[in-house]
Amino acid sequence: MARQRSPRTRWRLGLAAVLAAAALPPAAAADPGGDSPGAAYVSMGYGVFMHYGLATFVGRTPWDYDPQDVPPTVYDPPDFDPDQWMDAIAASGATYVLLTTKHHDGFVMWPSEYTDYGVHHSSDPETDVVGEVVDAARDHGLKVALYYSWLDKMEPGGFVTQNPDRITESPEYLAYAKNQITELLTGYGPIEALWLDIAPIDDEQLPELADHVHTVSPDTAFLPNFPNNLATPEAADVRPFLGPDEIVPCGYQEPAEQAYNVSGGPEWWQASDRPPRADTDEVVSMVSYTRFLGATLSLNVSPGPTGQLPSASVRLLEAIGDRLRGDDILADAATTASGETDAHPASHATDLLAQTHWQAPATGDAWLQVDLAEPMTIDHTAVQFTAGTAVSGYEIQYQDADGSWRTAWTGGMPSYPTQTDEFRAVTTASLRLVLEGAADDAGVVEFKAYGGVDDTADTVRYDGSWQALARPAHLQAVPRLPPSVPFAGAFNDSIHRSRYAGDVATIAFSGTGVQVHASTGPDQGTALVSVDGGEPELVDLYRPEAGRDQIVYRRDVLDPGQHTLTVEVTGQHHDEATDSWVGLDRFVPLAVPAPFDPGGPYEVLPDGRLVFDDSGNRCSNDSAITYTGSWEPGGASDGYNGTRHVSRTAGSAAELTFEGTGVAVLAQTRPGHGIAAISVDGGEPHLVDTYSPTRQDQVVVWETTGLAPGAHTVRIEVTGTKNPAATNTWIGLDAFIVTPEPAL
């Protein structure tokens, strides 16, 4: 049964909105002093592409079926929920969504006046998918772009791939497409881009379509997609590249979008619960690369036939957001458990990878413990289980200063895929997740916690006349204090404040970034914030309305290691402010991804490990890996950076000399792949079987840790032997992943 819809999301287009562009009054001109539509689209940086339509329910791509054989009633989601999509997309750090409105089958996702082949003649004829998705996106603070297929296998004149230049010979179809584009660009508020798939490659119809878009909606960017065509016509505001097969070249200078598909399939669609084809680190690496280029990344994660994003896709999007923000306190921290397996160790519960997990022992009860390098104050956690029935209950415990374990939160059967709990802040260096009634297959995909260094922490030094304000002990039971109380709503119910020029707060922290949370409001002044003695940044805390625990400063891209943050009160304030208070609330050390380095021999993963790709990085073919024997370089669409080296010649070898304490081998596994011999520093080789009954990419087939700091050499050699089930002896090397020496 379809969910009940608000009247605001029902069909909202009147007759005037669907007139052809020639009959429309002139639209307001784009702001001449602002960015061009293409530049504005690219500047959004990162969004989520969603292929959702009739193909979701057919289970095949629109290329692979005749829409004449598929009635509109095949579209029948039991639980269409775009708010669920947007919860996950917003959590991922994306700034926009890109939705398919009509794909090659001609099935429209809004009640178009120009066709009956759409959701308005489906099993839920009151639906307007475009309208509901647009409303949900904007409710979550996301901007909207729309995809429209020029190829239409249903409408006469729309089968444009029958012509080499993809033009239509039907004036009626050209008018049809323009009328539908007008509906989309005039009926749903501001649209950032119109993404025209299988666009015509000519000097007449393409410019005509571009002019139509810019006439109807001057601030909308036009993105014509030309599969297998490297030309970028003048009519395009932005050039899309379709990854992972097609990646924006390193030296590309024009406005570009990197579309990057990770959906479970088929192709860009999601027709089952199959997990995404990539994990967190690969996606975050693409975000870093596109940021380096000044392009935008449109990550394709599609909803399934239930009308919701599959749980695995939600986990991926949430993990991407945690990596990009860098504020998960437990990420990559030392993790132990009451039991674990080699394939699913405890560390997998804090690695921010959506496709790994810790396997709880089948004893009914189990615990997972995370030990931090220094105490942190924590006020909420998030836990992702492998199934909604994995446990009957759980506790969040923390180790107190006296060494005893106390309970911060007790819960019953958790929400799935993510259980989030908020509780009164606790300060600890060790956190435990205790499972009750764990099923035999119970696992924890991720255990996350959030908070930071509270203003009351001993590690924060205050010089000058700072006031320490906190909730008195006799008010602990009062759930809500009046907003006039300076620390009401503050993190841990406490702040340190000063309005005296020259007063300074200093904190030493470890990480690659830092975030400062403070009070804002009409009585707040300005502060000078600096890191490691660098140029201070003036931060204005004035806001018309009072706020607590607000992010007022963020610094990314620091070198790994120890840093010092300084906050100095200026004693000055905004012209409209009534005072010059600076109220500090908390400091959050961050572990943010390193920026892409075009000249480096490796790429830095979000957890600090180094990836030495088989063919060098995306901007250089100079690989640090030495190959001997008969290796064949080549492309691999699902390989790291889209490349691999393969060999089946016995004795062929690849070596990497590195500085670090651990190394892993990333390889392909295939039905036709054989056995490799892997060694470090000339030691005894380990025989590693890279056979698998199905094709898999980016598989860690071997790793070692605990090497002495210093230089080491890892070697992988083709043995020419194989598992009896294998059909050949190929070895497919994708990359070496190095754990560097700890920063001092």
CATH architecture label of 603-739: Sandwich (2.60)
Q: Does 374 have pLDDT greater than 50?
A: yes
Radius of gyration of the chain (CA): 28
**Distance of alpha carbon 198 from alpha carbon 196, whole angstroms:** 7
Question: In the predicted model, what is the mean pLDDT of residues 707-724?
Answer: 97
Look at 243 and 399; give whichever has higher pLDDT: 399
Look at 307 and 560; give whichever has higher pLDDT: 307
Q: Does 436 have pLDDT greater than 60?
A: yes
CB 86 within 8 A of CB 137: yes
Q: What is the pLDDT of residue 44?
A: 98
Question: In the predicted model, what is the mean pLDDT of residues 128-143?
Answer: 99
Structure tokens at 337: 């458990």
Look at 744 and 302; give whichever has higher pLDDT: 302
**Distance of alpha carbon 713 from alpha carbon 659, whole angstroms:** 9
The answer to whether the bond into 266 is cis (omega within 30° of 0) is yes
**Distance of alpha carbon 656 from alpha carbon 733, whole angstroms:** 12
Q: Does 245 have pLDDT greater than 50?
A: yes
Tell me the pairing of strands 675-680 and 653-659.
unpaired
Reported as a single tens digit per residue, the pLDDT across 79-134 is: 999 999 999 999 999 999 999 999 999 999 999 999 999 999 998 899 999 999 99
Reported as a single tens digit per residue, the pLDDT across 281-298 is: 999 999 999 999 999 999
Q: What is the pLDDT of residue 600?
A: 78
Q: What is the pLDDT of residue 372?
A: 97
**Distance of alpha carbon 260 from alpha carbon 286, whole angstroms:** 9
CB atoms within 10 A of CB 162: 9
Q: What percent of the chain has pLDDT over 70?
A: 92
Q: Give me the CATH code for the 7-11+41-325 domain, please.
A: 3.20.20.80
Q: What is the DSSP string of 174-201?
A: HHHHHHHHHHHHHHSS--SEEEEET---
Question: In the predicted model, what is the mean pLDDT of residues 319-343?
Answer: 96
CB 377 within 8 A of CB 492: yes
Report how far apart, in Å, the C-alpha atoms of 705 and of each of 709, 739, 740 are: 11, 8, 11
CB atoms within 10 A of CB 462: 17
Please give the CATH superfamily to which domain 460-590 belongs: Galactose-binding domain-like (2.60.120.260)
Reported as a single tens digit per residue, the pLDDT across 576-624 is: 999 999 999 999 999 999 888 887 788 888 788 999 999 887 887 678 9
**Distance of alpha carbon 501 from alpha carbon 554, whole angstroms:** 22
Give residue 24's pLDDT band: very low, low, confident or very high (50, 70, 90): very low
**Distance of alpha carbon 60 from alpha carbon 81, whole angstroms:** 22
- For the chain, what is the total number of helices (H) and then of strands (E)? 8, 37
CB 41 within 8 A of CB 128: no
Give residue 643's pLDDT band: very low, low, confident or very high (50, 70, 90): confident
Question: In the predicted model, what is the mean pLDDT of residues 24-47?
Answer: 69
**Distance of alpha carbon 353 from alpha carbon 359, whole angstroms:** 14
Q: Which of 258, 256, 199 is nearest to 227 (CA)?
A: 199
Q: Does 387 have pLDDT greater than 50?
A: yes
AA identity, residue 581: W
Q: Does 474 have pLDDT greater than 90?
A: no
Q: Does 28 have pLDDT greater than 60?
A: no
Reported as a single tens digit per residue, the pLDDT across 499-517 is: 999 999 999 999 999 999 9
Whose tokens are 């906050």? That residue is 567
Q: Does 233 have pLDDT greater than 80?
A: no
Tell me the pairing of strands 675-680 and 662-669.
unpaired
Which residues are CB-contacts of 203 (< 8 A; sequence separation ≥ 6)? none
DSSP state of 55: H
Tell me the pairing of strands 46-50 and 296-300.
parallel
Residue 547 phi, psi (nearest 5): -145, 155
**Distance of alpha carbon 63 from alpha carbon 60, whole angstroms:** 8
Give residue 318's pLDDT band: very low, low, confident or very high (50, 70, 90): very high
Q: What is the pLDDT of residue 623?
A: 84
Q: Which of 689, 658, 490, 512 is nearest to 591 (CA)?
A: 512
Q: Which of 510, 497, 283, 498 is nearest to 374 (CA)?
A: 510
Q: Does 518 have pLDDT greater than 80?
A: yes
Q: Does 26 have pLDDT greater than 50?
A: no
Choice among 181-190, 464-473, 494-503 with the minimum mean pLDDT: 464-473
Q: Which of 701, 708, 666 is nearest to 683 (CA)?
A: 708
CB atoms within 10 A of CB 613: 27
CB atoms within 10 A of CB 557: 10
Q: What is the pLDDT of residue 348?
A: 96
Give exposure, 407-432, as e/b (b: 16+ Cβ within 10 Å). Answer: ebbebebbeebbbebeeebbbbebbb
Q: What is the pLDDT of residue 622?
A: 74
Give residue 363's pLDDT band: very low, low, confident or very high (50, 70, 90): confident
Q: Which of 613, 615, 623, 732 is nearest to 282 (CA)?
A: 613
Beta strands in 464-503 (DSSP E): 467-470, 494-498
Q: What is the pLDDT of residue 542?
A: 98
CB 36 within 8 A of CB 237: yes
**Distance of alpha carbon 491 from alpha carbon 469, whole angstroms:** 12
Q: What is the pLDDT of residue 33?
A: 44
**Distance of alpha carbon 174 from alpha carbon 24, whole angstroms:** 17
Q: Give me the CATH code for the 334-452 domain, please.
A: 2.60.120.260
**Distance of alpha carbon 468 from alpha carbon 351, whole angstroms:** 37
| Residue spans in the chain of domains classed CATH 3.20.20.80 | 7-11+41-325
The three-class DSSP label of residue 140 is coil
Q: What is the pLDDT of residue 140?
A: 98
Vertex 283: Cα angle to 64 and 353 (nearest 5): 105
The three-class DSSP label of residue 479 is coil
Question: In the predicted model, what is the mean pLDDT of residues 327-346?
Answer: 95
Q: Which of 504, 485, 501 is nearest to 493 (CA)?
A: 485
**Distance of alpha carbon 584 from alpha carbon 497, whole angstroms:** 6
Structure tokens at 322: 């945690």
Q: What is the DSSP string of 597-631?
A: -TT-SSEE-TTS-EEEETT--TT----S-EEESS-
Which residues are CB-contacts of 631 (< 8 A; sequence separation ≥ 6)? 645, 646, 647, 652, 654, 733
CB 493 within 8 A of CB 426: no
CB atoms within 10 A of CB 662: 18
| Residue spans in the chain of domains classed CATH 2.60.120.260 | 334-452, 460-590, 603-739
Q: What is the pLDDT of residue 482?
A: 64
Question: In the predicted model, what is the mean pLDDT of residues 32-38?
Answer: 73
Q: What percent of the chain has pLDDT over 90?
A: 80
Q: What is the pLDDT of residue 34?
A: 59
Q: What is the pLDDT of residue 478?
A: 52
Q: Which of 575, 326, 313 is nearest to 452 (CA)?
A: 326
Give residue 706's pLDDT band: very low, low, confident or very high (50, 70, 90): very high
Q: Does 639 have pLDDT greater than 90?
A: no
**Distance of alpha carbon 467 from alpha carbon 494, whole angstroms:** 11
Q: What is the pLDDT of residue 637?
A: 74
The three-class DSSP label of residue 285 is helix
Give residue 743's pLDDT band: very low, low, confident or very high (50, 70, 90): low
Between helix 280-293 and helix 311-325 the angle, nearest 10°, is 50
Environment class of 107 (CB within 10 Å of its CB; exposed 0-12, middle 13-18, buried 19+): buried
CB 257 within 8 A of CB 244: no
CB 142 within 8 A of CB 97: yes
Give residue 526's pLDDT band: very low, low, confident or very high (50, 70, 90): very high
Question: In the predicted model, what is the mean pLDDT of residues 40-48?
Answer: 98
Averaged confidence pLDDT in the chain: 91
Report how far apart, in Å, the C-alpha atoms of 349 and of each of 383, 420, 732 are: 9, 15, 29
Reported as a single tens digit per residue, the pLDDT across 646-686 is: 999 999 999 999 999 999 999 999 999 999 999 999 999 99
Reported as a single tens digit per residue, the pLDDT across 531-579 is: 999 999 999 999 999 999 999 999 998 998 999 999 999 999 999 999 9
